[in-house]
Each structure stands twice: as C-alpha cells, then as structure tokens.
Amino acid sequence: MPKYVYSFAEGNKDLKDLLGGKGANLGEMTGLGLPVPPGFTITTEACRHHMHHGQNPPELAEQVTAAIDALEATFGRKLGGDSEPLLVSVRSGAKFSMPGMMETVLNVGLNDRSVLGLAEFAGDERFAWDSYRRLIQMFGKTVLGIDGELFAEALDAKKRAVGAASDVELTADDLKDLVATFKAIVAGQTGQAFPQEPRAQVDAAVVAVFNSWNTDRAKVYRRRERISDELGTAVNVQSMVFGNLGPDSGTGVAFTRDPATGHPGAYGDYLPNAQGEDVVAGIRNTLSLDDMAKIDRTSYDQLRQIMSTLENHYRDLCDIEFTVERGKLWMLQTRVGKRTAAAAFKIAIQLVDQGLINLDSALERVTGDQLSNLMFPQFDPAAPKKLLTKAMAASPGAAVGQAVFDSPTAARWAADGRTVILVRRETNPDDLSGMIASAGILTARGGKTSHAAVVARGMGTTCVVGADALEVDPAARVFKVGDVTVAEGDVIAIDGSTGEVFLGNVPVVASPVFQYLDEGLEKALAGAGPDGSAAELVMAVHRILGHADAVRRLKVRANADNGEDADRARRMGAQGIGLCRTEHQFLGDRRKLIERLILAHDDATRAAALDALLPLQRQDFIELFTAMDGLHTTVRLIDPPLHEFLPDLTHLSVAVARKEALGEEVSGAERELLAAVERSHEANPMLGLRGVRLGLSVPGLFALQVRAIAEAAAQLIREGLDPKPEIMVPLIGSYVELDLVRDEAEQIVKQVAEAEGQELTIPIGCMIELPRAALTADEIARAAEFFSFGTNDLTQTTWGFSRDDVEGGFFSRYLELGVFQVSPFETIDVRGVGQLVERGVKLGRQTRPEIGLGVCGEHGGDPASIHFFNKAGLDYVSCSPFRVPVARLEAGRAAVVVAEGASGTA
C-alpha cells in the first residue's frame, strides 16, 4: 500500500521531494533532539493525486487516522476532546519555500465543547476563546472561502464597541461574543454551521491546503521563481503549542544572521502573548530578540543555543519559527532563510572564512540574478532630500516611484509604463501581483519577518516596513506623516538599506559593486565608505567571482558594436566579442548610403555608395579591434530585415498620392524611389531578404565589409597590435550559401594581405539560427570554422513566433495557462530549441572536431540558459557588456554543478 503519511520522527532534510521543505526540516530537528511539537506530514504524492484525480488517495484517510491515534497516545489526550483537548495546526510545506502563498489553519479541533475543556486545562478562559475565534476566522477564510474582511470588520467593530486599542485588550466575554458573531458569519455565508467534529475540521483543512497550491497568487509566485506546477505541496499536521497563554508566552521568527545585510548575530521578531500568524501577518509591530531577552532570558538563551546548533548543522543562514508556551521553548519550523543579494554574498564568504563551507559551495549559494541586483544604482548621499520618516530596512535598494495604495492599481500602472511604490498598512499574500509590479514596497506595520519583508527579499525588491509614523488611508488613497499628505501618484523614494522614506525624487549613483566591476577593486574600495559594509560586500563579490573565473569552462564574450561598448565589456571581464552587429553601424547619417546601395540599378551608383561606405566601416573596425586587442572579435556581416534600411512604403505612397490629388508635380526621382520600394516590399521581412540572402543579392555589400575588416586588421598589425577578427555569416540555411560567401571573402582577404604586406588569418564561420541549419550542421561545418547559435531567431523559427508581435500579444495568456513557465525568449526552451542546439553541436563536431561553438542571442546572459549551454558543450556565451559579470558567475556555478555530478555528490 502506498505510504502517504510520515511521522516527524521518520523524516529528514534529504526528503524534501516527498515531505516538502517544512516537513523534511521538522523531521531533521526531531532527529537532532530539539524541542519540536510532535506531528506528521502528508506527502506531496498525496497532493499530486488530489490534483490529478480531484480527490484524496483512498488510503489516506486510514493513514491519517493512525497518525492521529499515535499523537493522542503520545499526549494521553484526544483530538478536540471535552477535557484537556489535543489541538493541531495544519500547514502547507512545498519543496521550495513559498512564503505566504499557501494556507495555514491553527487551533484545529476546537468546538463549542472543547473550548470549555481548553479553558479549564489552561486555567485561562480568555486564551481559550481567543484561540476559538482565531480558528473560526482562519477556517472560514481558508477552508470555507469566506471573505476575510467580514471577520476583520467584525473584530474591529468589537474593539471599537468596548474601547479596546488592540486584540489583547478584549476580555473573555468580548471574545465569546466575537465567536458568536463569527459563527453567524459562517452560517450566513455558507448556509451551514461551523463544523463541530474535530476530524472533519482536519480533513477539510488538509484539502484546503492541497487546493491552495493552485491559487492565483501561488501560480504567480511559482512563475516568478520558476517552480514547477507539478510538484505539489505536503501538509504538516502538528500538535499545537500556544504563544497566547499570557505574558510568559509568546511567538517569534528568528534568523541566525541578518537576512538584509548578512551581519552575524541574532535577528528576528518576537510578540508576547501571540500566535505565529500575528508575527508574519505584520498586524502588530513586533519586539526585537533583544527585547525578548529582557522578558524571558531563559528561553532567549536556549533559542540562541539552538540557532547556533542549526546554523552549524545546515552550514547556512537559518530562518526559525518558535513559540514559548508558559516559559517552555518549542521549535515550529526551520529552513535555509531567504536573504538579500548583498547578504547572500557576504554570508557565503563568512561561512568560508569560518571553515563551514568551501568556495565551491559559496559559489553555489549566490546567483547571477543576485549579482545583477547588486549592480543597480543607489541614492546619492550628497543629494538634497526631504525625509518623511525612518523605519525598518527590510530589503535593500533605492526605489523611486509614484505612490499607489492597492495591488490592482500597482499592476495596472506598471503595465502602462509607470514606476510605482506600493504603500500598504501591511501586505498579505493577495498583494503578490502588485508587489511584483512595484519598484518598492512600503508598509506602516510589520517587522523584518513580516510578509512584505520576506517576499520582497526573495524577489530582490526594495522594501521598508514598520513605518508606524505613516497614517495610511487606502479609501482616501493618501498617507500622512505629521502634517505632510502624500496622495496617490505623488513621487516618493525609499531606501531599503537604511529604512529612510523621502518625499519626491532622489538622484542615484553607481553602486559599489558596479564601480568595482567597471573601474576595478582599488577604486571601489576607496569609495566604499567608512562603515566597512560596502567594502565587505565588494570583497565578497571579488572573491566569489574570482573563484568562478578559476573553475569555469565556458568563456564569456560580449555583444558590442563600437569601441566604447567594447572597452566597457573588457573592463567587465569579457574575453572577446562574440557578436558585432554591423547593421547598427549603418544607422543615422549612413542609412542613406545603404539605401542607395540596395536600390542601385547601375554599377556606377552602386560603386559610389560602396566607395563612400568603405572608409567609414574600416574606421569602425579599427576602433573595435583596438579595444579588443589580443582577443577574438566576431563580426557578423550585415543582417537587417530589408525594410529597416528603406523608406516606409505607406509613407511614400501617401506622399505621392497627396501630391497627385493636389495637382502638384511628382518628380521622376520620387516615382522611381516608390517603384523601387514597392519592388522590395515584403509581407514578412524577418523571413525575407536579409542576412546571407541580402549579401548574395546585392553585389558588393558583403565584399565591402570583408575588405573593411581585413584592411583594419592589417593596419593595426602594422602598428604593433594583435587584432583577432572573425567573420560570421548570418541566416545560413544551406552549406552552398556559406561556400559562396566564403570563396569571395577568402579572395578579398588574400588581396588585402598581399597589398598590405601582412599575413592575415581571419576565420570564417556562420550563425546557426534556422532549424535547417541545426539539422544539417554536419554539411555546414565543412565550410565553417565556427558556429554561433543565434537563439533569438532560432526560437522564432522553431516556434513560428514573431517576437515583436507575440510578446506584447498572447504571451501573458500563455504564461497564465501554463503553456510557458517563462518566455522562451528569456530562457531557452530546452525541450525544443535546446535539442536543435545539441544536435547542431553534435553534427558540427562530427565533421570538424576543433570547430568553435558559441551562442550570441539574448540567452547568452540568462542564468538558466548558461547552465544549459555549459552542459551542451559550447565553448563560450556572448551577452551585453552589463551582463558579462553575471555570465561569468553563472558559468562558474555551472562548472561546479557538473563537477559535483561527476563525483556523485550532486
């Protein structure tokens, strides 16, 4: 019989696929002998069965019964019993942490009878009725689908009626009244009474957790984090311990290091006389762990010892949930904690220096996306600013935008191209779409472990929380700080590193990490500031990126079209140019020359255009090859869709028709131009006369570029430099096309070499960007000394997409429907386009084992795609200059993963 239920004693941290992260780690802590309330985990396999069949596995009910029986035997109490009732929590727990995205129900087992038994057992009537009202509120919203605002409004109304400033001021009688009100809401909204049978509550809560895997917010989060929809969630049923039993009880969340800065120490939030959801929801501003030490030193000391045990055991920053019940500390959860980009690099190096991990492990614990985040600008410290307030820095960065007060507005304004800051009293999981759309998040309530803080850190979004000076009025769409009123649409700025909130725009300057990457270590350290934090970060990035360079197999080149971009690429660590788009060199004033060349109807006109273009192209290449002295520079021959260099047909037609209608004279030149453009007009230019087709159809065009490349190289060799140009032919579909271009190019290079008295060795290769080219790569490799996979066009032609049309069209719908987890133009489609790349690599090397292989599409700078290219056996990736450091890091990470797999440790 399939096993769907595991006690915590049967689990461990290596069973995350089966038990989810939370269940696996509860099992690990139980095995370490830490104080964990007993319980059991329902597996992800049970969830997947429920998703696929619409019901639980038939064996599940019996196994849950056996697990509950075991719990009851452990405690000597009955689930929801009339005397000394056993209560449980029912929580989600997927393999990958999805904070706040799925459901939790606490105090399951309470009913009209057991609440009396709980009051007697605890000796605290108020606590029992507070626990019961929490169950009805959470169960009603989570399991029964009732609008949570109905319960919140009833709670606020009760507080107003009795003059209570907070929940804890409500008396037992107040809470009894509130329970009656909540039960009436349930009956009114569902037509049924609140369920009184404890086991029915458990079963319904389990199904609700399963169903929460496929809520809109969970799907949005998984798409952003690239988590598979097929994984499902485990469910953890755990015996309740209570932090709301009085002043000697409480609940909190702790981090073994600061997740925002990486500083060692104890960081977290604590709320006395509260349950765990109160901390995460951010509905009350929390105390620090230092405050906890003053309130309950014994529990604090024990917590610090456990934190040290867990960090040393997991060898990483740990995020811990705990409860103190009448002076007794209980551990409810641990996981490797989410952290900011800066903290990720700092903590990795700290753990290396402590001897807990090696540099390979440090490299695995940071990502290219995090490095990219650290390259973003920060506020100029010398700029004038109007400070509104200072609160808790939850996720670093500098964000400037228009204030908005709800998630739908944030998403809508962002879609319109506006930059927004989401301002809320506190966020909840339903705010996810607006949080993703926003440049920054500002909340009036909550601490470093509130929903807003945790989700923002995970997304790399600037966030400030706990700004209690803010009076947020969502209905009026304003917030006030003292006598200052900020309305929706007004510009504000938030600093997620300091917690400062400013009115109006604040200018930004380069970050220390960007300065290091662009100007070098010495300058970055000199400008890092006196507190040492920036210098520590720069050194952490320097050490980890240096290790990535040492272990990676993939080389990293840059896409650059001019000397300035090439200079920057080299400073960023590029090992050459993988793509120079020569069509970019013909924009502006030169466009007319290309237009004349393409439309020329006689040799004299064509020759004049070529003569004018040659010195311009030669100078372009001199600048590029000088910047890349000693490094390979791949020059792609001109590859525009034809319409990019011709006048617009509609505009020309209208202009001529207008003159004719007004009786004005239409010149012969105008008519001739219109006729030429009409002859060249294409219904689908991206699949028309471009690339090699244009070069073979327009005499002298490719020859001009080859000559300019050869002459530039010869001149620089004469001047003592070491240019290494490579000529790349675009849009090859047949080896015959490449043979024709190669024959002409080799003759031109030979002529220039003889004329200049220089030896010129210029490899000639081609783009592989059509499916036919990938499928016949063995034939093409006979004429090509290198391949560069153009994955932008290869994706378009494999899927049959026109990128410019589909990304603004139905792609969002495809993402919603799950056709894509991510756009295939952002991360390579391994199953489709990836197979063509792998086939092209295999066939190319069969014919020419030494053939050079690279990629120069947008995917060359995408972290996930880089791992695929490393596995596929490419020699290099090429990306924009600003993505070069990211590619270097990810190439190193890919090499470490491959090495671990080869040694059997992955």
Kindly list the catalytic residues. Answer: 451, 856
Which neighbouring-strand residues pair with 724? 632
Q: Kindly write down the DSSP assignment for every residue of 317-336, as one continuous string.
A: -EEEEEEEETTEEEEEEEEE
Length of the chain: 906
Q: Which amino acid is at 166?
A: S
Distance from C-alpha of 873 to C-alpha of 869, rounded to nearest angstrom: 6
Residue 506, judged by CB atoms within 10 A of its CB (0-12, 13-18, 19+), counts as buried
Distance from C-alpha of 813 to C-alpha of 14, rounded to nearest angstrom: 36
Q: Which amino acid is at 312?
A: N
- Residue pair 305/321 in contact by the 8 Å Cβ criterion: no
**3-state SS, one letter per residue, for 504-547:** CCCCEECCHHHHHHHHCHHHHHHCCCCCCHHHHHHHHHHHHHHH
Residue 32, judged by CB atoms within 10 A of its CB (0-12, 13-18, 19+), counts as middle
Nearest to 596 by CA among 579, 608, 586, 583: 608
Q: How many CB atoms lie within 10 A of CB 190?
A: 13
Tell how many helices (H) and how many strands (E) occur in the chain. Answer: 37, 31
Q: How many CB atoms lie within 10 A of CB 123?
A: 10
- Residue pair 272/249 in contact by the 8 Å Cβ criterion: yes
Nearest to 68 by CA among 105, 89, 46, 40: 40
Give the SS3 label for residue 394. strand
**3-state SS, one letter per residue, for 670-734:** HHHHHHHHHHHCCCCHHHCCCCHHHHHHCCCHHHHHHHHHHHHHHHHHHCCCCCEEEEEECCCCC
> Which residue reads 């600093």 in tokens?
495
Q: Angle, nearest 10°, between helix axes 735-756 and 701-718?
A: 40
Label residues 135-152 b or e (16+ Cβ within 10 Å = b). bbbbbbbbbbebeeebbe
Q: Which amino acid is at 741?
A: V
**Residue 88: in which H helix or E strand, if any?**
strand 88-94
Distance from C-alpha of 343 to C-alpha of 533, rounded to nearest angstrom: 10
